[in-house]
Structure formats: structure tokens, C-alpha cells
Chains A and B, each alone.
Chain A
Amino acid sequence: MRYWVLAAILGVAFLAQTTVVGFLQIGGVAPNLLQAVVVSYGLLFGPQVGAVAGALAGLLRDVAFGRYIGLSVLSLGAVGWVAGLVERRVYKENPLLPVLGGLLSTFLAEGIHYAVLRLLDPDLVAAVPVSRRVLPGALYTTAVTFLAYRRILRAYAYLRPESGGVIRSVRRR
């Protein structure tokens, strides 16, 4: 596995997320490119790569902006790990995979944020209109996940040279 390339993609995604993506807001909602990349890593390379990439991306985000360091480590790490759990049980070329991944990962990540923040900062949770914001964010992130996933899938053979160019989709019996 070409881990340094995976790390570089994650770094570029982080920079793009904090600079360019902010200007792509629609109705105050921006897509989560970092999460899209983490979900794609999980779905394509398994739970270990997904969890580690998610934790690293979360740490970057928390240290750069964070009010609570570790919160995004937890949410993105969990997203990468859960996405990775289905890696060998699904056909990776299926276009529905990133769509479902993007949608469910947003609910999972925001759910973790909600649960932890409810304990730490109930006033903040009460002030943010979660129901109004999560669904548009999830749809936008799903679209970005679809694009990111297709792009990374195309580079699968390069990123995982040991696969010999064969996309390992379903667990061998």
C-alpha cells in the first residue's frame, strides 16, 4: 500500500476543506471533503486504514480549529472504521456504495458530535438547529463522497500495488 500517497491526499483534502470548500457553501452548508476521503479510504482499503486515516484527519482538524481536541478524532476515526467494516462484503464498483457511505457517515459523525457535546456543552447543543442543518450537509457531503470515491477507485491499482490491479471486492471463502 502506498501510505505516503494516501497521507498526501488526506493533507491536500484538509487544506482544501479549510480554504476552498468554505466558499462552496450553499445556504450556509458546506460539504465535508475530509470525511468524504476518510469514508472512501475505509470502503476501499479496510477498517484499519479507514480508522487511522479518520483519526489523523480528525486530529488535524481538532488541533487547527478545535474547541475540544479529540472530538473529531473520535467521530472521523469511527466513520473510517465503520466504513471499512463492509470493505470485503461489497462490490467496490457499485455506485450506490459511496452514496450510502456518504449519507450514513454524516449521520454517524454528527451523532457522535451530538452525544459528546450534549455531555460537555449542553447550551451549544441546544443552540444549534441540528435537524435543519444535518440533512442538507449530508446530501452535499454524499455528492462529494461519490466524486472522491470514484477518483480514488480509479487510482486503486496505483495506491494498492500488491492487488495487481484487481479490485478485491468480496471476501474469499
Chain B
Amino acid sequence: MLPPPHLRRTTRSTLTWVLVVLTGLMLTFTLIAVTSGDRRAASLPENLLATLLYPFQNAAGWATDRIRDVTGGIRELMYLREENARLREQVERLVHLERLNAQLIQENQRLREELDLRERLSHRLIAAQVIARDPSLWFQAVVINRGARHGIREGLVVINHQGVVGLVERVTPFTSTVRLMTAGNFEITARNSRNGEFGVVKGQGDGVVVRFPYGGRDAVRQGDIIVTGWFQPEIPGGLYIGAVAEVERGDHDLIPIGILRPGVDFQHLDLVQVVVPEPPGEEAAQ
């Protein structure tokens, strides 16, 4: 015997709902599976949405900056005298450093000529502004307002005045997604500037560590300065990553692990620079 018409309607609508949910779930899992590979190029929908969002994110970023400028201005006014003294001291120190830097450049050039070393790759900096942040706990990334149209490509290193910020993960015509150094899937080759030991810097979600798999027990010490290594052609060596705050002993007390204090303040990222390598010939042509 058939159920009454009102019950049949309910059953049909429940069935439709279940079918819609199941189809949606299947589509979602298929999407996850398809996009789970190591993909760097942004797909058409991603490009479209990024281009669509770009003006809004730019405007929102601009408004946020103005608000921060105003609140920062008020705060600075309150500490103007102290700030002034500190800045004067900083200027004196920088003038001294500039002189020292000029001397070191000359000395470096002379030594390179004496050793007949080939010229290092030069780099161009593209300034960009952070216009959006990934809210997720798992994938720490920011979006910058420069993309393929401005000469940015995947794998380039992003820095600011404090040091290495991250790597360009995906590029759309007007924007790029930068994976931050603290992200769990971030990795970059590094060098200990004290002893020249090579290692790998890895993100840990809320921190950064450096491992020296081939280094001895003395590969890393507290206070060591870690900079980028020379192994990745897209990334210039010697960029400041951070200082070692603490040392732990890894597998069977053999591999030393340095807990890094990154130079960059990731909570207040604003202006960044993308480092674009240029072969020496290209620079000469310009």
C-alpha cells in the first residue's frame, strides 16, 4: 500500500536533498583529489576570482592602511621625543654602517677580481603590498598586489627590510600568493653565517626551525645568524632569515636543530619586495 500523498512528497524531497548532498560530496572529494598534486600554475577559475577580487582587496587594504596610519600616528605623537632620540641614534649608526659597507664592497670587488670569480647573478626588486591574508591555521599565506603582469613567477623569494618573508607559491595576472616562512610546508636552503654550514629552514606553523643534517654537533649555536644558502638558483644567498634562539638535539642526539627567531614580524606585514634574478648579461644590456 502506498503512503498518503503528503508523506510521499516529504520522502521525495528528503531523497532529492540526500542526492544533492551526495553529489556535492562526490564533487568536493574529486576536486580535492584533482588539486592535491604539486600544482603551481593557477587554474582559470582561480585567475578569474583573483582578478575579480583584486580591486576590492586593494581598496580594503588601502583603507586598513589609512586606519593603521592614523592610529599609529596618534601613538607616535605620544612618544615623539623618545622616538626622535632613538631615530637620531639610529641615523648615526646607519651612516657609520654605510661607510663600512662601501669599504666592504670595494674590498669584496678587489678580492673577487684577484680570485677571478665569475660575476654573481644580480637581482631586481619588485615592491608589492600585502592586500590579503589566508585565515587558515594550516596554510599561512598572504596575497600581494603584483602578479605575472609585473614579472613575478613561482618560486621567487619575497623579502622585506627585516629579512626573508616567504616564497611565491602561485601567480595570477595581477596578484601572487606568498607562502610565509612559518607555514608548515615551507622549506628553503640556508647557511649558518658563523661557520658556513649548510642546512634547511622549515616552517612549523607558529615558528621556524633550521636543521643541519650533515653538520656536526657544533653546526649551530644559540645566537647564530642564519641566511639563505646558494643552492637554489632563483634565490640569492646571504639574505637574512633569522637568529637561533635555542638549540635542540634531533634524531639520536645527532642532528642539531636550531629554533629560529625570524627577523620578520609576520603579524604586521605590509610592504614587501619580490627578488627577481637577472643574468649579468641582461643587466649589462639595460
Binding site for B on A (CB under 8 A): 15-23, 25, 28, 30, 32-34, 48, 51, 55, 60-61, 63-74, 77, 110, 113, 116-117, 120-121, 123-125, 127-130, 132-134, 137
Across-interface contacts of B53 in A (CB, < 8 A) = 15, 64
Given A61-B136, A117-B138; 11 other pairs, CB 8 A cutoff: A19-B131, A23-B68, A23-B267, A64-B143, A65-B143, A68-B35, A70-B31, A72-B136, A113-B136, A127-B205, A128-B137
Query: B32 near A16 (CB under 8 angstroms)?
Result: no
Binding site for A on B (CB under 8 A): 17, 21, 24-25, 27-32, 34-36, 45-46, 49-50, 53, 56-57, 60-61, 64, 68, 131-139, 141-143, 177, 184-185, 202-206, 266-268
Query: B139 near A65 (CB under 8 angstroms)?
Result: yes
Query: A63 near B24 (CB under 8 angstroms)?
Result: no
Closest A residue to B206 by CB, please name it. A28
Query: B204 near A127 (CB under 8 angstroms)?
Result: yes
Query: How far is B131's CA from A116's CA once the two chains are assembled, in angstroms?
Result: 29
Query: B35 near A66 (CB under 8 angstroms)?
Result: yes
Q: Residue A70 contacts which of B29, B133, B203 (CB distance < 8 angstroms)?
A: B29
Closest B residue to A106 by CB, please name it. B137
Q: Residue A25 contacts which of B134, B202, B267 (CB distance < 8 angstroms)?
A: B267
Query: How far is B267's CA from A16's CA once the two chains are assembled, in angstroms?
Result: 16
Closest B residue to A65 by CB, please name it. B134
Across-interface contacts of B133 in A (CB, < 8 A) = 18-19, 21-22, 30
Query: A120 near B204 (CB under 8 angstroms)?
Result: no
Closest A residue to B29 by CB, please name it. A70
Closest B residue to A31 by CB, please name it. B135
Q: List 19 A-B contacts (CB under 8 A).
A: A15-B56, A15-B60, A18-B132, A18-B135, A19-B131, A21-B133, A21-B135, A23-B68, A51-B21, A55-B28, A63-B49, A64-B53, A65-B141, A66-B139, A74-B28, A77-B24, A127-B185, A128-B184, A134-B137
Query: How far is B184's CA from A124's CA once the two chains are assembled, in angstroms?
Result: 5
Across-interface contacts of B185 in A (CB, < 8 A) = 67, 121, 123-124, 127
Query: How far is B50's CA from A23's CA once the two chains are assembled, in angstroms?
Result: 21
Query: A70 near B204 (CB under 8 angstroms)?
Result: no
Query: A127 near B31 (CB under 8 angstroms)?
Result: no
Across-interface contacts of B29 in A (CB, < 8 A) = 70, 74
Query: How far is B49's CA from A73's CA once the two chains are assembled, in angstroms?
Result: 16
Q: A21-B135, A64-B132 are in contact. Are A132 and B206 (CB under 8 A)?
A: yes
Across-interface contacts of B266 in A (CB, < 8 A) = 28
Query: A73 near B28 (CB under 8 angstroms)?
Result: yes
Query: How far is B206's CA from A67's CA once the two chains are assembled, in angstroms?
Result: 19
Of A65, A72, A117, A137, chain B has the most CB atoms within 10 Å of the CB of A65
Q: A18-B135, A133-B137 are in contact. Are A71 and B56 (CB under 8 A)?
A: no
